[in-house]
Amino acid sequence: MAGVDRKIKHYRINTDTGERTLNSDFNIFIILNAVAYLVFLILIFTVGAFGSVSSTTQMLAYQYQSILTPDEVFFKIVWAIVVPWHGFWVVWQIVQAADRNCQGVVRASYFYPFMTIMYAGYTIACRFNVIILGTIFIYGMCGTMIGLIMSMQRYRDKMLPGYMIWQGPMSLLGAWIMVEAMLMTNACFVVLGEEWIIKFVIACISLVVLFITAIAWLSSYPVDLLVSCVLCYAFGGIYIELQNQRHYGNLFAQGYSNRWLDGAKYTVLAVFLLILVSIFLKILVVLTCQRPKEIEDRQRRKDSRVALSITINTGDNSNSNNNDDNNNRKKSRKNRDRDYDDDNDYDDYDEERPRRKSSNKQNRRGSGDSRQNRRGSNDSRQNRRGSNDSRQKRRGSNGDHRPRRSENEPSSPRKSKTQRKKKEYDDYY
């Protein structure tokens, strides 16, 4: 497709100049999201929440009522926010050139088009009263939206404006689809005509699942409060509907007793209050503990970075720098020789002592006479290697062993091979 990127790159790099520029081209995700939103909009106003042919809101609120059915107005409020917010999300990707290839678009990936396909199956199945098939499709839609929300949650660079643009509309729709999936599950047992006790157990399981979901969503950081708020909002709508006499009459017709309905009403109220208190506690923990700790860790990582400074030598003071280097070498050499003046600096192992430069070094090594005397003379070799006197001096007065030292006398360090050769050389000269 011409003009559409299939490989998303937020920046483009010029291979010739190395310059990095912002990539403002359209990519395949923007095109798919725009098409998916148009289809999503058509489904909502034909066979969906505000459907003119058939309405999922009317079906769940009046046709297949259960203990957990909220009032109709709660459906309409949520979908009235979802439709324009998702439209803003799609238009922002197209209009804002700097965000066409950002992480918000990449993280959405193919989730949104797949969600639209699941919503089409759900609404069309409900249109023909195939409730079980519609339940399967809405569970697929629920799993897709959870995956989309978690993918957006990994986009951690966003702040509050970024959340309102990229993750907020997905969290709102995903949370409400969880509620509708729970309602469709209970509607299946209403359609099957099961006993009231079975429907009551299924309603309790659905209530526990949504409560655990709301609490689990609050346990993460960064936290997505909107999901838990929508679930809390749904439980408030369920409690209000349980106080409606018309709804009570419908449940009486299904076999529920007054005592069980009162117990269900107060249970829903308790769950609503627990989620509400948990939300306020989570906000308090974030503001007093988690958020300051994150800011402190971020500042610590920023301070620990090492700045590299590069010094360019222009060549003006090259001679002075060379002279300084030579002087520093000479000083270090003198300091090294001074440090090794004491033989006690060496341990008992064969560590070689650096040799000093002597003034007559050139004379010893360069003179032909000295070389002849040192290397060619058999007498000097005999004196250097076979002299009994020198051996007596090296080994001690008894000739075979070193003199025995007293018990309190400390042992002298063992001389290395290099030191022995040097002493032998000194004895000779």
pLDDT in tens, 346-395: 444 344 444 544 444 444 444 555 455 455 555 555 555 555 555 555 55
pLDDT at site 254: 85
Domain membership of residue 363 (yes or no) is no
Min mean pLDDT across 216-230, 277-291, 411-425 is at 411-425
Query: 185 and 208 in contact (C-beta within 8 Å)?
Result: no
The answer to whether residue 384 sits within a structural domain is no
pLDDT > 50? residue 205 = yes
pLDDT tens figures, 154-186: 776 667 888 899 899 999 999 999 999 999 999
pLDDT at 34: 94
Mean pLDDT of 95-118: 88
Contact 166, 198 (CB under 8 A): no
User: CB count, 10 Å around CB of 354?
Assistant: 9
At 383-417, the pLDDT tens digits run: 555 555 555 555 544 444 455 555 555 555 566 66
Segment 320-339 mean pLDDT: 56
Looking at residue 346, its pLDDT comes to: 42
As a whole-number percent, the residues of the chain with pLDDT over 90 amount to 45
Looking at the domain assignment, is residue 400 inside a domain? no
CA distance 246 to 256: 14
pLDDT at 17 over 60: yes
- pLDDT at position 308, please? 46
* Phi, psi (rounded to 5 degrees) for 5: -85, 135
pLDDT class of 334 with cuts at 50, 70, 90: low
Phi/psi zone of residue 148: left (φ > 0), alpha (ψ -120 to 50 degrees), beta? alpha
Please say whether the beta carbons of 127 and 48 come within 8 A. no
Range of the domain at 87: 4-301
Q: Assess whether pLDDT exceeds 90 at residue 237.
A: yes
Give the count of domains, the chain: 1
**Can you name the residues that pair with 5 across neighbouring β-strands?**
27
Q: Give me the pLDDT at residue 107, please.
A: 85
- Global pTM reads 0.67
Task: Please indicate, yes or no, if residue 356 is contained in any of the structural domains.
Answer: no
Which pLDDT score is estimated for 350?
A: 43
pLDDT tens, residue by residue, 241-299: 999 888 888 888 888 888 899 999 999 999 999 999 999 999 999 999 988 888 888 78
Mean pLDDT of 311-333: 54
Q: Does residue 211 belong to any structural domain of this protein?
A: yes
Q: Is residue 364 part of a domain?
A: no
Over residues 196-222, the mean pLDDT reads 93
Q: Is residue 350 in some structural domain? A: no
Picking from 133, 126, 142, the residue whose alpha carbon sits closest to that of residue 60 is 126
Q: What is the pLDDT of residue 108?
A: 86
Q: Is residue 323 part of a domain?
A: no
Mean pLDDT of all residues belonging to the chain: 78
pLDDT at 80: 96
Query: What is the Cβ-side half-sphere exposure of residue 331, based on CA atoms within 13 angstroms?
Result: 6
